[in-house]
A = this chain, B = another copy of it.
């Protein structure tokens, strides 16, 4: 284990969006709290898989006995930032039975006919689950702000509605972990080029990515504004530098570990006479 350096402080603290946070000031190449290199990081990710899986199983187990705790990981990012890799390489350690994953695409005509939170409410995780939103209700204050699909007044209403929605979820037992994966504009260019050059990645390339890329600065403003308005005590944002994929993965893994640990999970003790049951099994 000598090789796999550990974090020298809690990512939940280091990466948290607090008062005065500036997205512009954060270097997407940096690795806050972690002095190791890529091989160390990969080893750490591997090493903590079992711990993450055990905590998730405890969460699931509690819910079978009436527990209402659950996790909701909200993932937001510019295209190519690595949301998919987080889902595969971090969430992949968990039992799929306990993971409730939802990708939010552009809303359908029917979804648009409702309030923006309508389709979100239907996907909140059940008790005992680790829910993951791959994109989320934040699109309604990000792309909508960038392209002015919503008025400034409507955006203000939405920030308030989001805080109220998230407070309700928290009240129902949900620990919300909000993560923005932060890449640089140059890194996105390199990743788009890589998609074009690799037959195994070409299918992921979309001209639409290029279109949104043209609004980079507006997106950064929209993220900053969303952080200012919705990074609350109950549901703070975390910005994870993501130019180094391996760092983003260990950072999100740590955030999930910390979130699960904060729930003080216990193995449930079913109401049964273990000695009697053992005897029955032995005689069976």
User: Chain A residues in contact with chain B, CB under 8 A?
Assistant: 53-54, 57, 61, 64-65, 84, 87-88, 91-93, 95-97, 99, 101, 103, 134, 189, 192-193, 196-197, 199-200, 202-205, 207, 210, 213-214, 267-270, 272, 274, 277-278, 280-282, 284
Q: In the bound complex, how far is the Cα of B99 from the Cα of A93, in angstroms?
A: 14
The answer to whether B202 touches A267, judged by C-beta atoms less than 8 angstroms apart, is yes
The answer to whether B96 touches A88, judged by C-beta atoms less than 8 angstroms apart, is yes
Residue from the list B84, B203, B277, B282 in contact with A65, Cβ < 8 A = B203
Q: In the bound complex, how far is the Cα of B267 from the Cα of A205, in angstroms?
A: 13
Identical chains in the assembly = 2
Residue from the list B97, B189, B274 in contact with A202, Cβ < 8 A = B274
- Given A84-B97, A87-B97, A97-B84; A193-B268 close (CB under 8 Å): no
Q: Does more than half of chain A's interface fall in helix, strand or loop, or is it mixed?
A: helix
The answer to whether A61 touches B274, judged by C-beta atoms less than 8 angstroms apart, is no
Instruction: For A281, list chain B residues within 8 Å (CB).
Output: 189, 192-193, 196, 210
Instruction: For A197, list chain B residues within 8 Å (CB).
Output: 278
Residue from the list B96, B205, B270 in contact with A203, Cβ < 8 A = B270
- Given A267-B203, A281-B189; A97-B92 close (CB under 8 Å): no
Chain B residue at minimum C-beta to C-beta distance from A209: B281
The answer to whether A96 touches B92, judged by C-beta atoms less than 8 angstroms apart, is yes
Q: In the bound complex, how far is the Cα of B199 from the Cα of A199, in angstroms?
A: 49
- Given A92-B93, A193-B278; A270-B205 close (CB under 8 Å): yes
Q: Could you list 13 examples of A-B contacts with CB < 8 Å?
A: A61-B204, A87-B96, A88-B95, A91-B96, A193-B278, A193-B282, A196-B278, A199-B267, A199-B269, A203-B267, A203-B269, A205-B272, A210-B281
Q: In the bound complex, how far is the Cα of B12 from the Cα of A157, in angstroms?
A: 58
Q: In the bound complex, how far is the Cα of B202 from the Cα of A61, in angstroms?
A: 10
